[in-house]
Amino acid sequence: MPEQPVPAETLPKNAIVVLLDSLNRHMLGSYGSREFATPHLDRFAQRALRFEKHYAGALPCIPARHDILCGALDFLWKPWGSIEIWEQSIASALREADVTTMLISDHPHLFETGGENFHTLDVFPNPDPANAPRPQRNQVGLFHIAFEVASYADLREAYRNLIAHDVTIDHATDHVSQRSIYFADPDGNRLEIYYEMPDALARYVGSGRGDQDAPLAVTGPGEPLPAWLDEDWPALRRGSGPA
């Protein structure tokens, strides 16, 4: 990089930043590698500005791009996610300066509101629900979709909300390492909400997570919640699995 500022009139009017976040630079001929032939990238690098003093704050794709676009180290405060609505990316700053920017990426959800957990889930009603195809018994396809909650209290609250909205709980299961409730959406697709005990894999070293199928009681509208929802779980399991 030049030591002295370059006059504005001599700067290029267009710039393209190429980022290969899953490719080590030591694999490229333009950085001295002889292990693989990368002639096209090498020719491109001869006419481009190569960066040689960049230190990645995060190596996975989305966090690495967040670091560069926002000038903030993603992994210091969140594990993975999109650009937050309150952050100002370099693209926003350039837009305010009347500079047009464009992103070509296989990760467009970097800019999606609600993509904080890598992907979003959109649910919408069928325009003709009476004639919508229904899942058939023994049909090959998706078995069910599972949603993990952050605490056992959240599982209890999910159960209470389902009952309050007249959703039939099909069954509930104690899988030893987790407890789950199962039900269906209006189209008949099976759904699961579960809470898994902390460090489940470490608790059951050598035997997996102890995934078993002990049935738990279920109740309906107007009935008291099952007693197992008020248990101090997984404290009841302490000492039941190998250390």
Summarize pLDDT for 109-144 with one digit per residue, the tens: 565 554 444 444 455 667 787 887 777 777 666 677
- Provide the residue type at 118 as one letter: F
Check residue 110 and give its pLDDT.
Answer: 60
Check residue 201 and give its pLDDT.
Answer: 64
Question: Order of strands across the sheet with 145-148?
Answer: 145-148, 190-196, 178-184, 171-174, 214-216
Check residue 120 and give its pLDDT.
Answer: 44
Contact assessment for residue 19 and residue 68, using Cβ atoms and an 8 Å cutoff:
yes
Paired strand residues for 216: 172
Burial of 89 by CB count in 10 Å (0-12 exposed, 13-18 middle, 19+ buried)? buried
Alpha carbon 67 to its chain centroid, in Å, reads 17
Average pLDDT estimate for 89-113: 75
Tell me, letter by letter, the H, E, C secondary structure of 113-174: CCCCCCCCCCCCCCCCHHHCCCCCCCCCCCCCEEEECCCHHHHHHHHHHHHHCCCCCCEEEE
Which class is domain 141-237?
A: alpha beta
Average pLDDT, the chain: 78
- Provide the residue type at 149 as one letter: V
Closest CA to 156 of 210, 213, 227: 227
Does residue 75 or residue 203 have the better pLDDT? 75
Q: Which of 31-35, 68-72, 129-133 has the lowest mean pLDDT?
A: 129-133
Q: Where in the chain is the domain with CATH 3.30.720.110?
A: 141-237
Check residue 130 and give its pLDDT.
Answer: 81
Check residue 243 and give its pLDDT.
Answer: 33
27 three-state secondary structure: helix
Q: In the predicted model, is pLDDT for residue 173 greater than 80?
A: yes
